[in-house]
Amino acid sequence: MLSIFLYVTVVSLLILSITSVIYKRNLIKLVIALNIAESSVNLFFITLAYRPDSTAPIFTLAPALQELRMVLPSPQALILTNIVIGFATTALMLVLAVITYKNNGTLDIRKLKGVEDHD
């Protein structure tokens, strides 16, 4: 029951972000939308790892329990990687957006869309 909320959140965030990638026109807004998509995938993995009535995957907490119940540690480790990768992607996209603005004077993709050497 608990995880239903979370899965619904994940799917609606993904749909929201992909919809805004289709309909939004500002380059920086697209970066925000992709960040939301990444967060939704992160939340998906953390939700997968969650087990009710268990403890964080830290070794010193384990002996306090009667039986060893931890949430799954490996998705959390992977999501740490994904957060960092997402930061790198965001930084690169923002840099490219800023240089695009400097070269073209606009951030609107409809004004940028003309192909120069098109027949």
Partner 1 sequence: MTNHIPVLIITLPLIAAFLQPVTGFAGFKLRNLVIITILLVLNGLLFMLVPDVALQGKTIYYTMGASDPSQFTQPGISFPVRIVLKIDSFSLFTGIIVGVVTLTTFLFSTGTVKEDKRKSYFSTLFLLFTAGLMGMSFTNDLFNFFVFLEISSISGAALVAYRTYRKHAPYAGYKYILISTIATTFFLFGVGICYAQYGSFNIQYINSVLAHSYLDKVAMLFIIVAMAMKAGSVPMHMWVPDTYAEAPASISAMLKASGMVTLCAMFRFTFSLFGPSSSGAGKINYETLGWIVIVLGVLSMFIGVTMALIQHDVRRLMAFHAVSQTGYMLLGVGVGIAVFAKGDGGAAFKAFGKMAMVGGIFHIMNNAFYKNLLFLTSGVMERRFGTRNLNGMIGLGHRDTLTTVVFMIGALAIAGIPPFNGFDSKLLIYESVYKFSPVLAIIAMFVSVMTLASFMKVFYSSFMGPRRDDLIVEGAPLTKGTKAGLIILAALIILTGLFPGIIVDGIIEPAVTALTQIR
Partner 2 sequence: MNGKIIDLIIKPEIGIVWIPLLLVAVFFVFMVVFHVWGRKFFRNDYNENSDQVKPYNSGNLDEVNYSVKSSNLYWGFKKSMDRYFDIMKKFHDGDLNNYAKWFVIVVAACFLLIGGGLL
Partner 3 sequence: MTFSVVLSILCAVILITAVLSILFRDLMAAVVSYAVFGLVMTVIYFMLDAPDVAIAEASIGAALTVCIFVIAIRMTRRREE
Instruction: Point out which residues bind partner 2 (CB under 8 A).
Output: 18, 21-23, 25, 30, 109-110, 112-115, 118-119
The least distance separating partner 3 from the CB of residue 62, rounded to whole angstroms, comes to 13
The 8-class DSSP code of residue 69 comes to -
The residue within the footprint of partner 3, chosen from 18, 41, 55, 112 (CB under 8 A), is 55
Closer to partner 2 at the Cβ: 21 or 46?
21
Region class of 115: left (phi > 0), else alpha (psi between -120 and 50), else beta: beta
Closer to partner 2 at the Cβ: 51 or 111?
111
Closer to partner 2 at the Cβ: 53 or 119?
119
For the four alpha carbons of 62, 64, 70 and 75, in that order, the dihedral sign comes to negative
Q: Tabulate helix, strand, coil % of the chain (nearest 5).
A: 75, 5, 25
Interaction of residue 32 with partner 1, rule CB under 8 A: no
Identify the residue whose tokens are 């998906």.
44
